[in-house]
Homo-oligomer: A and B are copies of this chain.
Amino acid sequence: MSQLPKQPAEGPVPTSADVARLAGVSRATVSYVLNNNPTVRISESTRRRVREAASELGYVPHAAARSLRAGHTRTVLMPTGDHPAGPLHHRFLHELESGLRRLDYTVVQHGSLGLDADEAARAWAELRPVAVIAPGGVALTPQGIAVLRRSGAKAVITLGPQPVDGAHALVMDQREVGSCATGHLLQRGRRRIGVVMPEEPGLAPFAEPRLSGARRVAADVGALIEPLPLRYDEESAGALAARWRTLGLDAVFAYNDAYAMLLMRALQDAGIEIPAETAVVGADDLLIGRLLRPRLSSVRMELAASQPLADLVDRLVRHPGGVPERHDLLRARAIPRESS
């Protein structure tokens, strides 16, 4: 490899015409070779000559120019949410991205912090994605979906706790988490169950369906469900623990393991015995839960495999116009430990 300049390379950006000239072929041939167009037969020696010329000049195809020529892009836009993704969700997104890349899509992400829902949809539409996969918590309105469709998006797909009218939905149904946690507590004989509702902005789309899942299974046996607003700080947890005995609860589903750790600490500091007086269950099945004493019961979530989902996105792009499809991705199961 030759010595590289420390200064930015100046001079014009190499074009496919430069590659064609150096390789002694037409621009169309350069385009066919570098975009792996399978419909045109080109000899292996010509392919090699084009690739070597491109490499020598440092040329890479221009995604936007290619998409303008083709009349559509291969860009799949995955807007990012306001909150950092947890490890499970992060891995899922990365695998879905790899799956789409194998199908020759270019996946780009784009934030929407500080934009309202319709501003965000217009900003995404400017990128002319062929598909949009908007994760949970990112606002996507029917108006925004219409803007994206009119700008050429063949498939608008939500990826989150709830479907949005008019879009395909990959649903991570959070009700499963609430009903799973609550079902476990009911099995343990608990009948007065608190459900932690985080007050942090952006978590309501997850917390509300977890609560309704808890209500659903509790109703079957006439158990009480009591929503418990909680901020993720020691003061809020201390205040809740201080009035705990007035609530008369025998169990709590603490939204997730992090909130469970916070609340369990406050309850223990207030002299509440866990699980004898109050059973505690979290969600996410993080390592931290196993490090607590008593060890934290939790709910483990699993997401569907990503390659079939990439294939699904590809099908929705190639056959637009069907009725909105719903696919459920999330499975949940209780992991009983010592705290319940």
A residues adjacent to B (C-beta < 8 A): 1, 4-10, 13-14, 57-65, 67-68, 73, 80, 82-87, 90, 94-95, 97-98, 101, 106-111, 113-114, 122-123, 125-128, 142-143, 145-147, 149-152, 154, 156, 165-166, 232-234, 258, 261-262, 265, 287-288, 290-291, 320-321, 323-324
Contacts and interface: CB of A to CB of B under 8 A. Distances in A.
A90 B84 contact: yes
B126 A166 contact: no
B113 A58 contact: no
B290 A6 contact: no
Contacts of A125: 60
A229 B8 CA distance: 40
Q: How many copies does the complex hold?
A: 2
Nearest to A65: B68
Contact of A262 (B58, B94, B287, B323): B287
Contact of A1 (B57, B94, B143, B323): B143
A112 to B, nearest CB: 9
B94 A109 contact: no
Nearest to A90: B84
A153 to B, nearest CB: 8
A232 to B, nearest CB: 7
Contact of A58 (B146, B166, B265): B146
Contact of A108 (B110, B151, B324): B110
27 contacts: A1-B143, A4-B146, A5-B146, A6-B165, A6-B323, A8-B156, A8-B321, A10-B321, A13-B150, A58-B146, A58-B150, A60-B151, A63-B127, A64-B128, A65-B68, A83-B90, A84-B84, A84-B87, A98-B113, A101-B114, A106-B126, A108-B109, A108-B110, A258-B288, A262-B287, A265-B291, A288-B288
